[in-house]
C-alpha cells in the first residue's frame, strides 16, 4: 500500500486531499507545516510527499532538502 505524506497549511484542503487519496486505498498522513513534515517523514518514511507550490516558511526547498536526506525516503511531489 502506498504511503503519502500531505503537507498543507489549509486544513480544509488538506482533509480533501487526504480523503481523495484514501479513497484510492492509500495510507495518508497529514501535517500542516514544514517542521512537522520533516519530523513525520523521518517517522513514517512515506513513499510520496505532496507539498504546496507556495508553502510558507523558510522555503519548501529547505524542508525538502531535510526530507531528501532521510533514509528510505520516497518521492517529493509538489502541487501546483
The CATH code of the domain that includes 45 is 3.40.50.2300
> How much is the pLDDT for 12?
96
> How much is the pLDDT for 18?
97
Specify the pTM: 0.71
Look at the chain and report how many structural domains it folds into: 1
Which residues of the chain have a pLDDT value below 70? 54-80
> How much is the pLDDT for 51?
86
Is there a contact between 55 and 34 (Cβ–Cβ < 8 Å)?
yes
Give the domain range for residue 75: 3-79
Residues 6+ apart with CB under 8 A from 41: 5, 49, 67, 70, 73
Angle at 69 between CA 68 and CA 71, to 5 degrees: 100
Amino acid at each position: 500500500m502506498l504511503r503519502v505524506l500531505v503537507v498543507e497549511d489549509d486544513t480544509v484542503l488538506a482533509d480533501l486531499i487526504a480523503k481523495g487519496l484514501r479513497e484510492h486505498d492509500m495510507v495518508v498522513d497529514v501535517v500542516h507545516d514544514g517542521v512537522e513534515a520533516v519530523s513525520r517523514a523521518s517517522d513514517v518514511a512515506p513513499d510520496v510527499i505532496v507539498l504546496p507550490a507556495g508553502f510558507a516558511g523558510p522555503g519548501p526547498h529547505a524542508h525538502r532538502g531535510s526530507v531528501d536526506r532521510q533514509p528510505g525516503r520516497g518521492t517529493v511531489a509538489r502541487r501546483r
